[in-house]
Structure 1
Amino acid sequence: MPMTLSKVRVSMYVDDSTLYTSAATATEMTATLNKELQLVSEWVARNKLALNTSKTKSIVFGTKYSLNPKPQLIIVINHVEIEQVEMTKLLGVTLDCKLSWSKHIDAVVAKMGRSLSILLCLLNHTINKASPTGPSFVPQKRTCENCNWLRTGQHS
């Protein structure tokens, strides 16, 4: 990243970069980000890299009081206006504009529920297969869409 960036902090992970800044007003933040992003764009072009503006998003973090009314930033990179979002994922963590953990927790619980459901289906399949009367694909009381192939024996 350009060493000339003076008003933003840069966090990089593999091919993903995040720029952070703070400002007293939305106008000041917009001006700072547009100036610094112009430098980033020039650096990317000089180094024959690609800047994917369609994946680039902006988000303003704050309290419910500082976000009322919601600050509108007009950030432009290479003549493309960057979408301002209220929620984003950063390295697998879901962040919302109020820095609440609720959306991230909901996503983790949903993912955990899907994984647990698959494990329960596999456990039921293993128990049925190990029964003394031989393999049994009798439908269980609990249905599992992710594991239908286990009960029907239609797997390769």
Structure 2
Amino acid sequence: MSRARVILHLVALLAPLVAASAWCLLVYRSNAAGAWGVVAVVGGLAALSAQVAALLRWRALDRRARAGQGAWLAGIGMAAITHALFGVLLDAALVLSLGGWREAAGTGRPSDLLLQSLFFFVMSIMPVGLVTFPATALFATWIAALRRKELGHAVA
């Protein structure tokens, strides 16, 4: 496995946990000890989402590296997939914790689950996405350059 891909997945694991920790410490300033449960759930789901996004977008990132193009668009795609999947996974965790979709959905209609997922997606974008979308685009550009260097060394 390439070094660039290992770094991509390592950052996709750690960055969401750091972001969740920072956010929870800001929100739970007066009860920092109680924030760690939220960090575990939110950070864990965010890290899982970021790992899936990295898996899904690696081929596009690698293709751009091979072509010598910038990978900022692949990074935006990774951030979008991460936040959308986070909304779905957080909703699924809510449904499971409340004992089923009828208890978790406002009116008991399945369409409410879609609205809840959309709500969690939008809420993850508002405070955190303002930083993570451009940061992920820059990071993907750096990973593509690192991958390009690896490919250059592999040819030589």
Give the TM-score normalised by structure 1. 0.26
Tell me which of the two structures has the higher relative contact order, counting C-alpha pairs closer than 8 angstroms and 6 or more residues apart.
Answer: 2
Structure showing greater radius of gyration is 1
| Greater share of residues in strand | 1
| Greater share of residues in helix | 2
